[in-house]
């Protein structure tokens, strides 16, 4: 009986450790709300680490063209992400009209896109660290010149 208790405590410890590691880079959030009867109401909160891990599973030849195009820009992209990470929250773009409202901003260490129009409301948020990791993985894909 004591052995089972020790195994259970060990299993819980492993689960908490793995869960903490998976969630350490934050979450990618996607929410969609269609403003019509029986419209879609979707909310996804996915840990960013497994999403970046999925890039390792993609065939490198599929990422090669994107990687080749990004490589010359990597110093600029890395500097921009680094400075965004250090900066305070800021709104990059805000467009308002009678029919829609769009905001692209940096909030709490994430890039956030919010769109609200007559048909739907959409929110997408991704942590800067996850974006940086994904960009680096794509740039590293394929042969280097």
User: What is the distance of C-alpha 84 from the center of its chain?
Assistant: 15
Residue 103: what pLDDT?
96
Does residue 12 form part of some domain?
no
**What CATH number is given to the structural domain containing 54?**
3.30.160
Residue 72 lies in a domain: yes
Nearest to 50 by CA among 125, 139, 134: 134
Looking at the 3D structure of the chain, how many domains does it have?
1
Look at residue 2 and tell me if it is in a domain: no
Cα–Cα distance between 39 and 120 in angstroms, integer? 9
Residue 33 lies in a domain: yes
Task: Report if residue 135 sits inside a domain.
Answer: yes
- Identify the domain containing residue 36 by its residue range: 25-139
Cα 16 from chain centre? 22
Burial of 136 (0-12, 13-18, 19+ CB in 10 A): middle
**DSSP readout, 38-79?**
T--EEEEEEEHHHHHHHHHHS-HHHHHHHHHHHGGGHHHHHH
pLDDT value at residue 117: 92
Mean pLDDT by 10 residues, the chain (145 residues): 76 74 76 90 86 78 83 90 91 93 93 93 92 85 62
Query: Residue 20 domain-assigned?
Result: no
pLDDT attached to residue 22:
62
* Any domain includes 103: yes
């Amino acid at each position: 009986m004591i052995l089972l208790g020790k195994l259970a405590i060990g299993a819980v410890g492993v689960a908490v450790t793995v869960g903490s590691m998976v969630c350490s880079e934050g979450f990618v959030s996607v929410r969609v709300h269609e403003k019509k009867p029986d419209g879609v109401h979707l909310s996804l909160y996915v840990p960013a680490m497994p999403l970046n891990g999925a890039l390792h599973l993609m065939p490198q030849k599929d990422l090669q063209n994107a990687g080749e195009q990004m490589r010359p820009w990597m110093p600029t992209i890395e500097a921009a992400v680094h400075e965004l990470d250090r900066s305070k929250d800021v709104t990059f773009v805000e467009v308002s009209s009678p029919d829609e409202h769009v905001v692209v901003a940096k909030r709490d260490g994430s890039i956030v896109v919010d769109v609200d129009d007559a048909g739907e409301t959409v929110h997408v948020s991704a942590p800067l660290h996850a974006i940086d990791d994904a960009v680096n993985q794509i740039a590293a894909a394929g042969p280097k010149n």
